[in-house]
Amino acid sequence: MQQKDSAKGHAPGLGLVRKLRSLRFHRDRITDAIGNRIIHPYSDFLMHDIGSGDGIPVLPGADFAATATQIRTAPLWALRTRNRLMHDGLSFTKQEAISRHAGQATAIRTAFDALSVAQKDQVMAFLDSL
Ligand code: HEM
């Protein structure tokens, strides 16, 4: 709840993130199986190929070979408390992490890159509110 309220304070940034359609992947609402509570993880918890894959499939065998290039979408909640980003911890700023979004995220990252400086600041302020 507190997270929702703090996110509200950065409504323009949230609007931009929504407009970029990033929330299809960094999902802002997921129904919790326990007690039907709403949480806001900003992740779909699914595997995606954004070009940062580590070459390790989730399970051995041909059926899972394709997952070698995929990584599970990181939840963005409490992002402001972390200073080592992405699964390998090799990105030290939000901008660096966003720059590493390629593959399935290329179109959305390109749209992010095309935002004005003021709009990017709003997205960053929104991320800092999580
Ligand atoms: C402007 C839109 C987006 C922003 C601002 C954004 C932001 C971020 C940030 C800051 C991280 C690092 C989180 C952490 O390490 O704790 C991250 C990770 C990730 N995002 Fe996004 N993202 C965006 C769009 C997308 C899209 C469209 C997809 C899916 C197609 C996606 C999939 C992922 C995945 C899979 C990771 C984990 C990557 C890894 O650990 O190597 N993101 N995102």
Residue 55 CA to its chain's centroid (Å):
20
Atom of ligand 1 nearest to the CA of 107: 27
Cα dihedral 92/54/45/128 (nearest 10):
10
Q: Is the pLDDT of residue 7 over 90?
A: no
Q: What is the mean pLDDT of residues 88-102?
A: 97
Q: Which CATH class for the 2-128 domain? A: mainly alpha
Distance CA 13, CA 125 (A): 7
Tell me the best of 17, 67, 88, 101 to mutate to test the pocket of ligand 1, counting ligand atoms within 8 Å of each CB and taking the most: 101
Instruction: Evaluate whether 8 touches 28 at the Cβ level (below 8 Å).
Output: no
d(CA 64, CA 43): 21
Q: Residue 91: enclosing H or E segment and its boundaries?
A: none
pLDDT digits (tens, 9 = 90+) for 27-86: 777 766 666 778 888 999 999 999 999 999 999 999 999 999 999 999 999 999 999 999
Question: Residues near ligand 1 with C-beta < 6 Å?
Answer: 20, 22, 25-26, 48, 50, 52, 71, 73-74, 76, 79, 82, 85-87, 94, 97-98, 101, 104-105, 108, 112, 123
Each domain of the chain, given as residue ranges in start order, spans 2-128
Q: How far apart (Å, rounded) are the C-alpha atoms in residues 26 and 35?
A: 22
Residue nearest to atom 5 of ligand 1 (CA): 98
